[in-house]
């Protein structure tokens, strides 16, 4: 996020002092910048327009599923990429029209396929031959026709973190590209299917053009092959994956991404779609936390800063060793000399480390810090481990703030739980 320092109030996000947010809504607390989100949505669209493309834009709502986020992006012309029945219903509840929703995912249940068919989504991105056959059975039983896009596994290494790569041959995602033509042939004999095109998504946090280029080249040649066999191919869904600079990475410019898409598909006469998540939402959000205490460590180990935010709130550092900027909110600390610290949360796990060897000033208990670029895969991946309620979510926009999702009530953690009567017997 773009934060500005105010001499009195400390850091501000979109004109709202972070200290005021903490005072009003407590910590830990997620803060989404609506202006930042809108700005990024527009910049992404402009990058494609300048490349001569107007793809349909489906926001990967798994990255940030806040209703305020979905509504903001919908107003900018974005639909959604959903990966579960829950996400489809969430998108619908936020007012996203069914024909602006695409459905991806490696394990769609019958009930989820039925929901997609009933609503008439833009397309269903099918991930296996087995799923295609099952979809045919479901659709014909309902007397419907499914708009089908086959997700191709192009066997391309996205050169990103192992745990967020999805396009290598042994990843669980997509259909091996060599199997696609035979499946299109088979689909001709299967009822209830309208074969519409191909999709590909090779991973996330990708900051090089080359893997995109390799994957898209494979898809483009498949489109030509399929057409040569007499199949109509109308849609190419290019997935998401565009990375951001969390630290000192040189992020791939959206224009460069758009250029790889234009280069591969520009002359193919297909309707293009994209499914970006992180690039839109990550820099639009931060996690606001308070220092509970500090802890001196034995000689040779950096002292600890113990925050009230933890791995149950932001899982990325413990899951992927990912780096998030951490900045003190109050003005004096912003300019104080820094020494390396380990920043941890209170959760009872050694992996509950938010940052290692991080240069930070001496922070006193109660000091506020902002954990940056937390708008993607942040709140959505939170858990209530250690009976820690889900943190509040606040939006800011041009000097205004609103809590759009209150901190989870502690009693909600055990609401609905029972003990069998026969325990007493």
Q: Which residues bind ligand LLP (CB under 6 A)?
A: 60, 63, 81, 104, 164, 166, 201, 204-205, 239-242, 275-279, 316, 320, 376-377
Nearer to ligand LLP, 28 or 328 (CB): 28
Neighbours of 278 (CB within 10 A): 24
Task: List C-alpha distances in Å: 270 to 27, 59, 265, 315.
Answer: 48, 20, 7, 38
Distance, first Cα to last Cα, the chain: 58
**H/E segment holding residue 80:** strand 79-82
In the complex with ligand LLP, the residue whose CB is nearer, 63 or 72, is 63
Report yes or no: 391 and 407 within 8 Å, Cβ to Cβ. Answer: yes
Of 12, 29, 338, 348, catalytic: 348
348 catalytic per annotation: yes
Q: Rounded to an integer, what distance in angstroms lies between the CA atom of residue 405 and that of residue 310?
A: 19
The two structure tokens encoding residue 343 = 């920043």
Tokens of 407: 């901190």
| Minimum gap (Å) between residue 95 Cβ and ligand LLP | 21
Nearest Cα to Cα of residue 377 among 310, 317, 309, 306: 317
- Report the binding-site residues: 241, 275-278, 316, 320, 349, 377
Q: How far is the CB of 411 from ligand LLP (least distance, A)?
A: 30
316 vs 388 by CB, closer to ligand LLP: 316
* DSSP annotation string for 56-108: EEEEETTS---HHHHHHHHHTT-EEEE-SHHHHHHHHHTT--GGGEEE--S--
What is the rounded CA–CA span in Å between residue 45 and residue 349? 42
Q: How far is the CB of 316 from ligand LLP (least distance, A)?
A: 5
Classified as helix, coil or strand, 25 is helix
**Distance separating alpha carbons of residues 142 and 139, to the nearest angstrom:** 5
Least separation in angstroms between CB 371 and ligand LLP? 14
DSSP state for residue 164 in the 8-state scheme: G
Least distance (Å) between residue 56 CB and ligand LLP: 14
Distance CA 352, CA 390 (A): 16
Q: Which is nearer to ligand LLP, 276 or 345 (CB)?
A: 276
Residue 233, CA distances (Å) to 76, 220, 230, 273 in order: 28, 11, 9, 13
Distance between CA atoms of residues 134 and 192, nearest Å: 10
Nearest distance, CB of residue 102 and ligand LLP, angstroms: 9
Decide whether 97 or 380 has the Cβ nearer to ligand LLP: 380
Q: Which is nearer to ligand LLP, 153 or 166 (CB)?
A: 166
Cα 209 to Cα 326: distance, rounded to the nearest angstrom: 29
Residues belonging to the binding site for substrate are 278, 316, 320, 349, 377
User: How far apart are alpha carbons 75 and 397 in whole angstroms?
Assistant: 15
Residue reference for tokens 């483009």: 220
Q: How far is the CB of 16 from ligand LLP (least distance, A)?
A: 26
CA-CA-CA-CA dihedral for 67, 29, 21, 366, to nearest 10: 180
CA distance 10 to 231: 60
Cα distance between residue 150 and residue 132, in whole Å: 9
Q: In this complex, which beta carbon is closest to ligand LLP, that of residue 39 or of residue 331? A: 39
Active site residues: 348
């Amino acid at each position: 996020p773009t934060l500005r320092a105010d001499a009195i109030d400390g850091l501000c996000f979109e004109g709202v002092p972070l200290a005021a947010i903490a005072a009003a809504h407590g910590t830990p607390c997620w803060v989404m910048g609506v202006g930042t989100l809108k700005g990024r949505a527009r910049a992404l669209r402009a990058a494609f327009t300048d490349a001569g493309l107007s793809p349909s834009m489906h926001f990967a709502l798994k990255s940030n599923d806040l209703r305020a986020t979905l509504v903001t992006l919908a107003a900018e012309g974005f639909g959604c990429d959903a990966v579960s029945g829950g996400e489809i219903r969430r998108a619908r509840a936020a007012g996203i029209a069914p024909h602006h929703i695409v459905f991806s995912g490696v394990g769609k249940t019958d009930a989820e396929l039925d929901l997609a068919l009933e609503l008439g989504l833009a397309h269903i991105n099918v991930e296996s031959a087995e799923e295609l056959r099952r979809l045919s059975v479901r659709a014909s039983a309902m007397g419907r026709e499914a708009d089908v896009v086959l997700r191709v596994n192009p066997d391309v290494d996205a050169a990103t973190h192992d745990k967020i790569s999805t396009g290598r041959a042994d990843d669980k995602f997509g259909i091996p590209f060599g199997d696609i033509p035979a499946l299109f042939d088979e689909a001709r004999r299967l009822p209830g299917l309208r074969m519409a095109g191909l999709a590909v998504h090779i991973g996330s946090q990708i900051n090089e053009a080359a893997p995109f280029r390799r994957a898209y080249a494979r898809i483009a040649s498949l489109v030509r092959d399929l057409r040569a066999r007499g199949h109509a191919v109308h849609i190419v869904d290019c997935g998401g994956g565009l990375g951001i600079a969390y630290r000192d990475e040189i992020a791939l410019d959206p224009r460069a991404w758009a250029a790889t898409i234009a280069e591969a598909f520009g002359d193919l006469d297909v309707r293009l779609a994209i499914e970006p998540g992180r690039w839109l939402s990550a820099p639009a959000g931060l996690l606001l936390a308070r220092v509970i205490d500090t802890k001196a460590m034995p000689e040779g180990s950096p002292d600890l800063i113990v925050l009230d935010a933890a791995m149950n709130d932001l899982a990325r550092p413990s899951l992927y060793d990912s780096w998030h900027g951490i900045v003190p909110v109050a003005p004096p600390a912003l300019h104080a000399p820094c020494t390396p610290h380990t920043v941890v949360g209170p959760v009872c796990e050694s992996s509950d480390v938010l940052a290692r060897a991080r240069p930070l000033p001496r922070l006193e208990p109660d000091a506020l810090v902002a954990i940056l670029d937390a708008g993607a895969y942040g709140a959505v991946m939170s858990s209530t481990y250690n009976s820690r309620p889900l943190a509040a979510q606040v939006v800011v926009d041009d000097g205004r703030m609103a809590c759009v999702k209150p901190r989870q009530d502690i009693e909600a953690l055990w609401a609905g739980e029972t003990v069998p009567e026969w325990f007493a017997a």
